[in-house]
Amino acid sequence: MKYEKEIERRKTFAIISHPDAGKTTLTEKFLLFGGAIQTAGAVKSNKIKKHATSDFMEIERQRGISVATSVMSFEYKNMLINLLDTPGHKDFAEDTYRTLTAVDSVVLVIDSVNGVEAQTRRLMEVCRMRDTPVIVFINKMDRDGKNRFDLLEEIENELKIQLHPMTWPINSGKDFKGVYNLHDKSLLLFTANTKASEENSVVINDLGQTLLEDKIGHNDANKLREDVELIDGVYGELNSTDYLNGKIAPVFFGSAINNFGVKELLDTFIRIAPTPRSRETTKREVSPAEDKLSGFVFKIHANLDPKHRDRIAFLRVCSGRFERNKYYHHVRLDKDFRFSNPYTFLARSKDIIDDAYSGDVVGLFDTGNFKIGDTLTEGEDFYFTGIPSFSPELFKELVNKDPMKTKQLEKGIRQLTDEGVAQLFTQFGGNKKIIGCVGELQFEVIQYRLLHEYSAACEFRALPFYKACWITSKDEKKLDEFTRFKQSNIAEDKDGHLVYLAQSEWFLNTERQNNPAIEFHFTSEIHK
């Protein structure tokens, strides 16, 4: 247990939300509290603006921002917090899903006016797959939002998670007066654009006190008493084990833009959020306190300079200590590598680091040796499990426009898919290359990058598929028959796993019914 002290002070998490709910704003407030930035407006949104004149300029702008903001590390009350950024555009959702495999918990931001939105649902599904602990922040209480009891019910039903209010709001919109902290029994009065030191907090141990009337008026005082009685009766004390197991999500109300309710959230976060935990591998469970290093690559970022193919591979350290210039074992390539310039994300010095511990993320300069899911160890052979590929939603055939550049095209597409920009499938029995993406923008990115970075011109031909399902069976013969019979719908992913490409839900359901011996999976774990 050499590194226990280091592990106990680390919390690695992500803020997730449907676009526009307030993720960037909340991130910025967290960094202000952590002293990592000094002024508001310092965190650039990594969203692709809806009305941008050219999406491309936006993509490039975003790529520029996103290396710097991929991991934001800061210290707060002696804890070291690693905040992992996730892309703001839904077309890059897969990147977000993978980042979620590298965190130990998440803060989910919900817009109090819009409630649960499409992306909120999908992100929560991913969290549920790994029982990731979730804290909910209901934002924009300064706007006329939904009735909070209805909102909680909506979140519980739609996201299939039990909630536990930690603060309770007094009205919303222009009547918003603040929140009552149910945990430490204090009243936090709303003022716009609060600075941490100026928070207007009043301790009210007994809600019967007339001080409450003095602060928020007769009607609201009575309403709050009723609400709190109801909440106490229903929820009681937070069970932190249930939170850590991803069964209960504590809820905070606030307004990120006004820096209101954010400190309560951050203080509770550092108190209850998990420190790095043990992780499953293909061989055994790995504890963060083990002496020997292990970690996995969850993201690869291409260099902005097209003349240099250098990339940065993001390694999440899972055990031991990462040291500069020490040799580590790359399990898939069965080769040892050392890294002389590992990149740190500690905001105080975006510089080369000498060491890192469980929970930290290290940026490794890479010339093409890494792909997502790769593991580094000190010699042992295993892979971390639970890093899935999700079914893309759009499929297009990749057509080579310049036969003289076939090699470049193949290399480019292989490297881009290693980076996780898109998924590559090869049609069974032929060699038609099918690219699967989550959004249209990704196709544009691929075409643009193939041309600019690999001088390979391509175009895409739409294919009528709607989902890719990985197929397996205990009965080899049945699987063989199915793949031969359905040849035009069968492909291999880039690791050689069989995939069924369904034209529609109807086809998929029919095939599932007609072929009970075949299992259809909506995600493929890179390593099982």
Q: Which residues bind ligand G4P (CB under 6 A)?
A: 17, 19-25, 45, 47, 88, 139-140, 142-143, 255-258
Smaller CB distance to ligand G4P: residue 52 or 203? 52
Distances (CA, A) of 337 to 73, 379, 411: 26, 11, 22
| Cβ nearer to ligand G4P, comparing 20 with 267 | 20
Instruction: Please report how close the Cβ of residue 52 comes to ligand G4P at its closest, in angstroms.
Output: 13
**Min dist. Cβ of residue 119 to ligand G4P (A):** 10
23 or 405: whose CB is closer to ligand G4P?
23
Residues in the chain: 528
CA dist., res. 425 & res. 498, Å (int): 9
Smallest gap from Cβ 300 to ligand G4P, in A, equals 23
- Cβ closer to ligand G4P: 20 or 525? 20
Alpha carbons 498 and 518: distance in angstroms, whole number: 11
Residue 192: CB partners within 8 Å, gap ≥ 6?
A: 142, 258, 260
Q: How far is the CB of 266 from ligand G4P (least distance, A)?
A: 15
Q: How far is the CB of 95 from ligand G4P (least distance, A)?
A: 15
Residue 50: CB minimum distance to ligand G4P, A? 9
For the CB of residue 46, give the shortest distance to ligand G4P in the complex, in Å.
8
- Residue 159 Cβ, how far from ligand G4P at the closest point, in Å? 17
User: Measured from the CB atom, is 47 or 309 closer to ligand G4P?
Assistant: 47
- Neighbouring C-beta atoms of residue 494, cutoff 10 Å: 15
For ligand G4P, give the closer residue by CB, 119 or 275: 119
What is the layout of strands, in order, in the sheet containing 200-203?
167-170, 178-181, 186-189, 200-203
Q: How far is CA 24 from CA 17, 19, 266, 315, 416, in A?
A: 10, 9, 15, 23, 27
Residue located via tokens 């019910």: 153
Comparing CB distances to ligand G4P, the nearer of 16 and 469 is 16
Nearer to ligand G4P, 14 or 21 (CB): 21
d(CA 220, CA 214): 11
Q: Measure the CA–CA gap between 263 and 137, rounded to whole angstroms.
A: 12
Token pair listed for 472: 């397996």
Helix (H, G, I), strand (E, B) or coil at 269: helix
SS3 241: helix
- Helices then strands, counting H and E runs in the chain, come out as 14, 31
For CA atoms 204, 205, 207, 208, give the dihedral sign: negative
Interacting residues of 53 by C-beta distance below 8 A, sequence separation 6+:
none
- Comparison of 19 and 288: residue with beta carbon closer to ligand G4P: 19
Distance CA 99, CA 299 (A): 7
Residue 158 Cβ, how far from ligand G4P at the closest point, in Å? 18
Min CB(178)–ligand G4P separation in Å: 14
| Residue number with CB closer to ligand G4P (331 or 438) | 438
CB 130 within 8 A of CB 100: yes
Pair 343, 362: CB distance under 8 Å: yes
